[in-house]
Amino acid sequence: MAEADPSPQLKRPEISYRKPARPHYLERGDPIKPASEIDLDSIDFIDVEQWRQDKMWDRFERLRKEEPLHYTADSVAGPYWSLTRYEDVKAVDVDNKRFSSDAKFGGITLGPPIEAFTGESFIAADEPHHWAQRKPMQPAVAPSLLRNEFEPLIRQRTSALLDSLPVGEPFDWVNTVSIELTAMMLATLLNYPQERRRELTRWSDVTTNPFDPDICPGGREQWLKELGECLGTFSGIYAERQAAPPGDDLMSLLAHGPATRNLTPQELLGNVILLIIGGNDTTRNTMTGGLYALNKFPDEYTKLKADHSLIPNMVSEMIRWQTPLSYMRRTALEDVEMHGKTIREGEQVAMWYISANRDEEFWDEDPNALIIDRKQAKDHISFGFGIHRCYGNRLAELQLKILWEEILARFDHIEVLDEPSRTSSAFVHGYTWLPVVCHRKN
């Protein structure tokens, strides 16, 4: 018997307008079998079709119950271990003595990099190199900067964009709102020309989808070409910032930081790609996932409309429910015993944040549901734990908070018209298309 989908289907009234057609290249492939019909040994989360179809949930649930430390022997990423329970993921995330994120061992994603230089960044480094490269970035998201400069700027941009949206006419939320708002913020953080901000989105998409024919049809050759263009662009910016007085944008901070002022091209590209993905994919996909979730759980949308003070907690809950980065990889530096099994030195370990955020043993209320006043919402693991915890988390939360404050000030309801199309990636858990219609307040 097939297992039930843990999330309810969209429930909405019949509409009198015509929704936009799903782009042909976003259609799903062959149906994915439910977890109850396959052998545990055959579970491989690197198979992207299960992510396109949103059919990985019952696999994670089965592993949490039956095999919380699971070994995938045959995968395009090579053999790897999967951790699926909250406490196990947290324990490994903070155990930097026995589990490494360093690029020389493979970095933070499963499988060998297509090219070695793409993995070198402060997130793919151990101490002391990690902190030496991360520390110079901290002023870019300092609390005073968020409060005095970014908050009014984000609110002005968000308000202007929402005011420009069509009312009563379908449009794609992903491209029109989520990508646009995050691209503007990312360009600001990098002090990159706003008129070229979609280049940043493109480089993010290409980096995380090198073999997706919809994103990178030319495969490795196209991937290398476009990343080469990214490196060329930012090498010029890096040199310009080195020659200029220090500023508070990320590229200036890189150019003048004691440990980052003389980066090799490989290190520069690795850090730039990290900043682009971190500042783009995570927030943009929660902007879409949060709206989608409120439509799947309409009682929560009603609760929100009645009490806007729930927005900050709701933002944490949306980040938990969405989990924009599905996992991080570590490499074992020694043999480690867990759950009666041995992870051998040199083996890959995937910490599945997306599964930990749905762990029935940790979350008091239904973890598959969006519950905007959930008491444990801030305990989500989407930002990671320990030394690699996302340093831009406060900025992401601020962007989402302002978005929902401004949405509720303008619209009675933003209606999702169809199931979304999703990214073909086991790493970035996101969306490529979500048709909606805005209903303005009376």
Residue 119's pLDDT is what?
Answer: 53
| Residue 6, CA atoms < 13 Å, CB-side half-sphere | 21
- Residues with Cβ within 8 Å of 430's Cβ and at least 6 positions away in sequence, in order, are 281, 284, 285, 288, 289, 324, 422, 423
Residues linked to residue 167 through DSSP beta bridges, in sequence order? 438
Residue 287: pLDDT over 50: yes
Q: For residues 264-274, give the mean pLDDT.
A: 86
**Per-residue pLDDT tens over the stretch 329-350:** 999 999 999 999 999 999 999 9
Alpha helices in 135-196 (DSSP H): 143-145, 151-164, 173, 179-190
Residue 15: pLDDT over 50: no
128 preceded by cis ω (within 30°)? yes
Residue 429's pLDDT is what?
Answer: 94
Q: For residues 256-265, give the mean pLDDT.
A: 87
Residue 168's pLDDT is what?
Answer: 93
The percent of residues above 70 in pLDDT, for the chain, comes to 87
Beta strand residue intervals within 101-243, DSSP E? 171-172
Contact 251, 234 (CB under 8 A): yes
Residue 14's pLDDT is what?
Answer: 47
> Would you place residue 5 in the very low, low, confident or very high pLDDT band (cuts 50, 70, 90)?
very low
- Residues with Cβ within 8 Å of 119's Cβ and at least 6 positions away in sequence, in order, are 103, 106, 107, 108, 113, 270
Residue 13's pLDDT is what?
Answer: 42
Work out the number of other CB atoms within 10 angstroms of the CB of residue 11.
9
Contact 63, 12 (CB under 8 A): no
Residue 57's pLDDT is what?
Answer: 98
Query: Phi/psi at 343 (nearest 5 deg)?
Result: -85, 120
Sign of CA dihedral 330, 333, 336, 341: positive
Q: H/E element holding 208? A: helix 197-208
Whole-model pTM?
A: 0.90
Contact 369, 297 (CB under 8 A): yes
In whole numbers, what is the pLDDT of the chain averaged over residues?
88
Contact 63, 43 (CB under 8 A): yes
Q: For residues 1-30, give the mean pLDDT.
A: 50
Residue 257's pLDDT is what?
Answer: 87
Q: Which of 112-126, 309-323, 327-341 has the lowest mean pLDDT?
A: 112-126
Q: Which of 213-217, 402-406, 420-424 has the lowest mean pLDDT?
A: 213-217
Residue 4's pLDDT is what?
Answer: 45
Residue 207's pLDDT is what?
Answer: 84
Q: H/E element holding 317? A: helix 311-322
Q: Which of 1-5, 143-147, 228-232, 359-363 has the lowest mean pLDDT?
A: 1-5
CB-based burial, 388-415: b 16+ in 10 Å, e otherwise: bebbbbebbbbbbbbbbebbeeebebbb
Residue 9: pLDDT over 60: no
Residues linked to residue 421 through DSSP beta bridges, in sequence order? 433
Residue 12's pLDDT is what?
Answer: 46
Contact 62, 84 (CB under 8 A): no
Strands 348-352 and 80-83: parallel
Question: Burial level of 109, CB count in 10 A (0-12/13-18/19+)?
Answer: buried
Q: For residues 273-295, give the mean pLDDT.
A: 90
> Would you place residue 38 in the very low, low, confident or very high pLDDT band (cuts 50, 70, 90)?
very high
**Per-residue pLDDT tens over the stretch 429-442:** 999 999 999 999 87
Angle between helices 197-208 and 265-296 (to 10 degrees): 90
CB-based burial, 74-93: b 16+ in 10 Å, e otherwise: ebebeebbbbbbbebbbbbb
How far apart CA 67 and CA 416 sit, in angstroms, is 36
Q: Which of 5-9, 97-101, 144-148, 186-190 has the lowest mean pLDDT?
A: 5-9
Q: Which of 250-259, 356-365, 382-391 has the lowest mean pLDDT?
A: 382-391
Residue 21's pLDDT is what?
Answer: 57
How far apart CA 205 and CA 208 sit, in angstroms, is 6
